[in-house]
Amino acid sequence: MDTGCTPEHDWTTNIMTAVVIVGIAFSYAPQHYRIISAKSSEGLSPLFLLLGSTSSAAGMWNMITMQWSITKCCRVVGWGSCIEMSAGVFQLFLQWSCFTFIFMLYMKFYPEHLKYIELDIEAPDLELPPMQVKTPILSSEWRASLVCAWITFGHFLFSGFTTVYLMTTATPTPAPNVPLPPQVQTWATFLGVTSAILAAIQYAPQIIHTYRHKVVGALSIVTMCIQSPGSVLMILSIALRPGTNWTSWFTFLVAGTMQAFLLVMCLAWKVRQRKLGIDDFGNPISGVSEMEGEVVVVPAESVTVEDERTPLIRK
């Protein structure tokens, strides 16, 4: 056996990585379920999904590049040691696939009534309300969603092709315990820095989007409650693995901080929604609403939701 492929058993890191992997799967499940059960992805920002998908993809390719020589040892070690040595790659692959699946669900369950522009046409009888007519013109947000989806797909293909090309044509070929060639090291650093920058601004569009709409929408509070503190374990499990540096874990430090801020905002909107008697998508529900110190019972069928400046419940 190549001495450079002798596995180093670090049970603390292995257990932490296993917990993080299980946590990733369980933490994203509520968000996936929420979109599927509601059959709506309204409330999610397409720019947030673009930045998150490209950031996680860049982080995954960074890890693959940094640990390329280590994972090659799977050819000469047992399956148990192979799993242990490649756990970091699988961890970030799972992170990328779970987040990208949210984007896929967003596109599939995007509300049909928001895809096209609707015009209000006055009825011949002035006593009748205006008629809404759907036009074949795509709405600005749906057009932005399509553009973001194509950019995400193109970024993944470009990053993957470049990574594989550099790692298979590098001279000399990377080997265990041997530094990566300069061009490969530069590419890995570029991926890590790009991932960190995208993560730093990833939650900004979603925070702005959620703040403007003032409802939770399709965001899962359960997912954020799990992931915000879980980002600490994610950082430690990556930082303690061999062959990684700050570019591999800094992404998750920035993303965890921004996600915690978004969580606090959503909890505040939950309280506001209950007071106004509306659900997470702004639709009126039967309940109790507080307005200027008065408590009013509001039946769902008697409420008309207007814009933010118009009171939802009139005295």
pLDDT tens-digit readout, 271-288: 999 999 999 988 888 654
Two structure tokens written together for 184:
């490969």
| Among 291, 138, 307, 305, residue whose Cα is nearest residue 212 | 307
Query: Which residue type sits at 108?
Result: K
Residue 270 has pLDDT above 90, yes or no: yes
Burial degree of 49 (CB within 10 A; 0-12, 13-18, 19+): buried
Q: How far is CA 40 from CA 28, 45, 83, 109, 278, in A?
A: 17, 13, 38, 5, 16
Two structure tokens written together for 279:
């659900």
Give the pLDDT confidence of 291-314 residue by residue, as tens digits.
434 444 444 444 444 444 334 433
Distance CA 40, CA 47 (A): 17
Q: How many CB atoms lie within 10 A of CB 63?
A: 31
Distance CA 117, CA 194 (A): 36
Q: What is the mean pLDDT of residues 154-166?
A: 94
250: which residues sit within 8 A by CB, 6+ positions away? 192, 196
Residue 9 has pLDDT above 70, yes or no: no
Chain position carrying tokens 């959503």: 266
Question: What percent of the chain has a predicted confidence (pLDDT) above 90?
Answer: 36
What DSSP string describes 269-299? HHHHHHHHTB-TTS-B-SEEEEETTEEEEE-
CA angle 172, 188, 194 (to 5 degrees): 160
User: 73-77, 191-195, 202-206: which has the highest mean pLDDT?
Assistant: 202-206
Give the pLDDT confidence of 134-149 residue by residue, as tens digits.
677 889 999 999 999 9
| Among 255, 220, 229, residue whose Cα is nearest residue 32 | 220
Burial degree of 75 (CB within 10 A; 0-12, 13-18, 19+): exposed
At 88 the pLDDT is 76
- Which of 10-24, 151-165, 178-192, 263-277 shows the lowest per-residue confidence on average (mean pLDDT)? 10-24
Chain position carrying tokens 């790659």: 89
Q: Which position has the higher pLDDT, 127 or 103?
A: 103
CA angle 18, 19, 22 (to 5 degrees): 85
- Which of 53-62, 174-183, 205-214, 232-241 shows the lowest per-residue confidence on average (mean pLDDT)? 174-183
